[in-house]
Amino acid sequence: MVTIKDVAKEAGVSVGTVSNVINNVQVKPSTKEKVEEAIKKLNYEPNIYARGFKINRTNTVALILPTIWNPFFSELAYNIEKNLRKAGMKMILCNSNKKDKAEIEYISMAKQNKMDGVIAITYSDIDEYVSEKIPFVSIDRYFSKDITYISSDNFEGGKLAAEKLVEFGCEKIAYIGRGSKINNATRKRKDGFISYCKEHNIDYEICEILGSSKEFDKLLNEFIAKNFKDHIKIQGVFVVTDEQALDFIHKLEEYDIEVPKDVQVIGFDGSKASAKDTIKISTIRQPVELIAEKAVRSLINIIENNKVEKEIILPISFIGGYTTRK
């Protein structure tokens, strides 16, 4: 295993000089060049943790997600890692499986291991563990005025979904969604939907539960039986996420209800299964690349004690797919 002493010997300089080059301490350009050539020749990899004790940085960031079994979270993780890599930083992916205990443990791990910061999407009751003691950027959830918060414009997304369903000929529309009991930005999707309907006197229904998926399945089945089984009373549906929209479409298929012929459906997220994939269902697209870029830039600004916006709301857009007629 190549050591810092080997690099120093190869470059003809002291160990201290090699350490200065690694830690970006100013040395003569010619000396820096010799050290960098030696590092490259010997394929030496500096210990970023040992380095962190000198410069108070480890160049590592924890990304906490509720699950990676979700296209939006996966795409977001990919883009955050890409932006961190551009900044010379590494990402530790922390999959909490929607468990508050796991999220608390990950935050504690980040602090104990002197990680530079945390970017997180969390719908758990962990408010007391989120503080300025470690740089922290929250996506889709407001914690306090001291914690930077980044989100898509969920309210406008809900309004846009309702507007599009009406534009596509739906006389009565509905919102369907299951969410967390912890208040978060995704609830604004329903608020925007209702706001548009009330403003334009559109007949609408709400089918929502905060919490148990078992209870939601029961409610949704009853909702479908009441509004779609014998007679289609609702022509357009906005579902809180693409994932839940697909589940809803599969349930409609059990009753031989065709989408979009009988019912038009719009989801929310607009995530892709792969880089070359195309978005298939009609959806409100979150600007996932921009969310990742803003999250990483905000975190770096916090780490470096630069000025940072505490609340960043980003624009959404509609993407038409096979689940609407236009």
Q: Are 7 and 39 in contact (CB under 8 A)?
A: yes
**In terms of DSSP bridges, do strands 317-319 and 283-285 run parallel, antiparallel, or are they unpaired?**
antiparallel
Tell me the C-alpha distance between 35 and 133, whole Å. 36
Residue 222 backbone dihedrals phi, psi, to 5 degrees: -65, -40
- Is residue 143 included in any domain, yes or no? yes
Residue 322 lies in a domain: no
Looking at residue 231, the DSSP 8-state letter turns out to be S
Domain total in the chain: 3
**Domain containing residue 101:** 60-152+287-315
pTM of the model: 0.81
Whether residue 51 is contained in a domain is answered as no
Is position 52 within any domain?
A: no
Q: Per-residue confidence at 194, pLDDT binned at 50, 70, 90?
A: very high
Q: Which residues pair with 154 in a beta bridge?
A: none
CATH number for the domain spanning 27: value is 1.10.260.40
Check whether residue 166 and residue 113 sit in a common domain.
Answer: no
Q: Are residues 276 and 209 part of one domain? A: yes
User: DSSP string spanning 84-131?
Assistant: HHHTT-EEEEEE-TT-HHHHHHHHHHHHHTT-SEEEE---SS-GGG--
Same domain membership, residue 40 and residue 71:
no
Q: Are 223 and 207 in contact (CB under 8 A)?
A: yes
| Residue 320 maps to a domain | no
The CATH number assigned to the domain holding 136 equals 3.40.50.2300
Would 266 be classed as within a structural domain?
A: yes
Q: Which of 151, 153, 150, 147 is nearest to 133 (CA)?
A: 147
What tokens were used for 84? 């961190």
Q: Is residue 46's pLDDT more than 90?
A: no
User: Would 53 be classed as within a structural domain?
Assistant: no
Collapsed DSSP state (helix, strand, coil) of residue 63: strand
Question: 53-57, 74-78, 144-148, 315-319: lowest mean pLDDT where?
Answer: 53-57
Q: Point out the least confidently predicted range of 1-5, 104-108, 260-264, 317-321.
A: 1-5
The answer to the question of residue 94 being in a domain is yes
pLDDT score of 44 = 86
Residues 97 and 31 in one domain: no
H or E element at residue 268: strand 264-269
Residues 300 and 274 in one domain: no
> How much of the chain, in percent, has pLDDT values that exceed 90?
65
